[in-house]
Chain A
Amino acid sequence: MTLTPFSAPGLLLATGPGILLLALLATSLVLIWDWRWALPGAMLVSLGLSSIQATLHGPAPLVTLSQWLAVIVASVLLGLAGRFHPAAARLHTNSNWLTRLIALLFVLGAWWVIDPGVSLPLFTQVETDLILWTGLCGLLLISLSAAPLHTGIGLLLLITPLQAIAAILLPGAGLTVVAGIAQILVGLGCAYLTLTQQIPQRTQRLVAPLPTVTTQAPSPTAQSPSRVRRGLLRLRRQTPAGSMLASADDSGQEAHTPVEKNA
């Protein structure tokens, strides 16, 4: 087995703890919903898988190089989109961490119960499981996200099985390059959609001044001051601003909080 710069990390990762580390990293991308974690994580998982294949199957270095290049370029494109339009990743509400955890546990449970027994030819069973788990995490990311950036990261993970199969099962066909170009185009498309997301205009806040309360001089026919005061307080309590005014009046301070109205 010849050691190349691509297969060197694979020596560490193609072990039990290494495989477990990559699987956990892929899992964490679903649970920790932040593109700044998900994007480098997805890139590391893809590169790690490629490196493991380079170690175990020894494809031509050019094949692994093209895989690495495609993953890095697609990740950089998505990263630049996220960097230039950071609000885009937060524009759409995604599920909370509990829902994502439940979805993840459901998938794990389903896999354990059904046990499809999928095995890819030429791949070891551990490799197959890692490839499938990566793809499933990508599918979960896509399913649980409404944002193009996260969908792009999910697609990055989902293309990992495609890259693995192209490189190992059909090595002489140059399909790795074709798959790499497809991966870059998908990344570019998602980056474009991220950048073209429009931030919705916030509704303009109209600030209305509070009516000034003027105390009138008591007239002989007027009600007693205490009754007037109770009546004013009742009126003020009808709105939140009125309540604040009342409390400010009680504390002896003037209230300046404006009343906000939606346009």
Chain B
Amino acid sequence: MSQAAGLPYLVVLFGFYTISAVASYWLRARGRWVALGGAGAALLAALWVWSLDLSRPLWVLPTGWTVDLEAPITFAGYTLQLQAHNAPVIAIYLLIAALTLLIYTQRHADAAFPALVWLIVGGYTAPTLLTDAPVNPIIVTPLLLLMLTALGVYVLHSKHSTGFTGPLRTLLPPVLAAPLFLLAGWWVDQIPLSPQDLTITQNAGALLTLGALLLLAPFPLHAAWPAASEESPPVAVLFLSLLYQLSVLYLTAQLVNAFPFVYRQSDWSLWLSSLGLVTAVWGGIAAVGAIHAGRLWGYAAVHDWGLIVLALATPGVRSWRLVLFLFALRTVSMTTAAVGLSALLRQTDTLDMNGLRGVGLRMPWSSAAVLLGGLGLVGFPLTAGFAGHWAALQALAVVDWRPAMTISVASVGAMLGYVRLARLMFGAHDSRVLTQESALSAGVAVGALIITLVIATTPQLLSDLITRALAAFS
């Protein structure tokens, strides 16, 4: 372990999180400005972390102080350290936080939200930086995820939430997965004692596979996010679901890299491919019957997530590239939809489809963002998600055309749901709709739509980003 040559960079990073959280809470009365400032700060920090050159780990400040980028922080045997493979993930966390705070400027209902955003981003940063622990850091991470999910309850259940089923259900996957990881940790500790014993690796592999599956929350554990999409503010769902899913993907990558026996000596491929397929199909089918725009968004996201789980079935550089491509497009589509949904929720106070009749005529940009973002999640042509879905289906069809066809048919279900929503939003309505799209909402929605369309037409723009992030995952 290298000794710190100056102030550890991680102290600066966590100090930044703490100061941002405290300042956001103190200035919570000025919600919009706090969110706007926070979004800017998070974006700058994301760019900063993304562009860090770890080959030159020492910074000399004008005051003469030095900042050591790779200096670890150790507490009770747990070591956090910035490394080349975890820096991109932290930058993406910060980018998600920036997007969240930017959307929050439209609807600053819950005053403590920006402070919680900083707290939770800091929380997710910690397990990502965990490089050494008394047991393997991979074994400890689900426990930390459980803590962070418990903190997420406060974000999901604000005073404007209509229910609490979603927040409660988000707790289940980490609660169920954590004991399996700990049990697997014991078996992993036994491997050096008898390296020839295949039973040990088989047991550890089976437990880790099951634990990772529970954390990935495919069907039937998928219900938390669609429920939260209906009950909680869209911006909260966007923030927490993306952070959680990215951290689980990162954990899965670490898992299959550190313990190759997980997918060699267990039914990893079988479980992930079958459950990913069922999740994608169920997301599409359930979306047909959704009568709430938020829940429809949630089911479209479940469909997309099923495809990502399916792509994880055969871990390798190629599939990780596809997974990251799908996740990047998912982020774009979900953010676009969340921009629109937040604006609609602010103006109409409901996302029930009947309550949105005729709203598209008065709020065209936000409504278009809802539709384009949602359709992007199911891979509709000319949306951001199309390129990713097309690539995934092609890769799948090479092996077997039937699952690819099934997913295509299921995605039609979600598309029908969005067609119904579009008819309601842009159809004529007897009663006069008094809502009006604010300039800020229209501006943010137009910005999101432009980004979506740019990504939809030139997805190769993401190539550099994905190549850099791939270093963290493969």
Interface residues of A (CB under 8 A from B): 120-122, 142, 146, 148, 151, 155, 158-159, 161-162, 165-166, 169-170, 172-175, 178-179, 181-182, 185-186, 188-190, 192-193, 196-197
Contact = CB atoms under 8 A, between A and B. Distances in A.
Contact of A162 (B76, B159, B168, B178): B178
Nearest to B145: A182
B146 A186 contact: yes
Given A178-B143, A192-B153, A193-B153, A159 B168 contact: no
A189 B171 contact: yes
A142 B170 CA distance: 13
A151 to B, nearest CB: 5
Interface in B456-473: none
B175 A158 contact: yes
Contacts of A174: 76-77, 134
Contacts of B147: 178, 181-182, 185
A181 B123 CA distance: 14
Interface in B277-319: none
Nearest to A151: B168
B143 A182 contact: yes
B144 interface: yes
B117 to A, nearest CB: 17
Contacts of B172: 142
Interface stretch (B7-15, B182-190, B240-248): B182-190
11 contacts: A165-B182, A170-B185, A174-B77, A182-B146, A182-B147, A182-B150, A186-B150, A189-B151, A189-B171, A190-B153, A197-B164
A178 B150 contact: no
Contacts of B171: 155, 186, 189
Interface string B183-226: 10111010000000000000000000000000000000000000
A186 B150 CA distance: 5
B140 A178 contact: yes
Interface residues of B, number: 33
Interface string B416-435: 00000000000000000000
A72 B179 CA distance: 21
B146 A193 contact: no
Contacts of A190: 153, 168
B165 A170 contact: no
B154 to A, nearest CB: 7
A142 B165 CA distance: 11
Contact of A193 (B76, B135, B168): B168
A91 B136 CA distance: 44
Given A169-B185, A189-B154, A197-B164, 5 more contacts: A151-B168, A162-B175, A173-B133, A173-B135, A193-B167
B157 interface: yes
A193 B158 CA distance: 10
Contact of A169 (B150, B157, B182): B182
A175 B140 contact: yes
Q: Which of B139, B147, B159, B175 has the most CB of A within 10 A?
A: B175
A121 B143 contact: no
A192 B167 CA distance: 11
Nearest to B172: A142
Interface in B56-93: 76-77
The 7 closest A-B pairs by CB, nearest first: A173-B134, A185-B150, A189-B153, A169-B186, A162-B179, A189-B150, A182-B146
Contacts of A173: 77, 133-135, 140
B411 to A, nearest CB: 31
Nearest to A169: B186
Nearest to A135: B179
A151 B167 CA distance: 11
Contact of B144 (A158, A161, A178, A188): A178
B210 to A, nearest CB: 12
B419 to A, nearest CB: 33
Nearest to B152: A189
A189 B176 CA distance: 17
A189 B167 contact: yes
B157 A193 contact: yes
Contacts of B134: 170, 172-175
A121 B146 contact: no
A74 to B, nearest CB: 11
A209 to B, nearest CB: 35
A159 B175 contact: yes
Nearest to A163: B179
Contacts of A146: 165
A162 B154 contact: no
A192 B143 contact: no
A18 to B, nearest CB: 23
A161 B176 CA distance: 10
Nearest to A131: B179
B48 to A, nearest CB: 30
A145 to B, nearest CB: 9
Contacts of A166: 182
B192 to A, nearest CB: 15
A139 to B, nearest CB: 8
Given A174-B77, A179-B143, A148 B151 contact: no
Given A165-B179, A178-B140, A182-B143, A188 B150 contact: yes
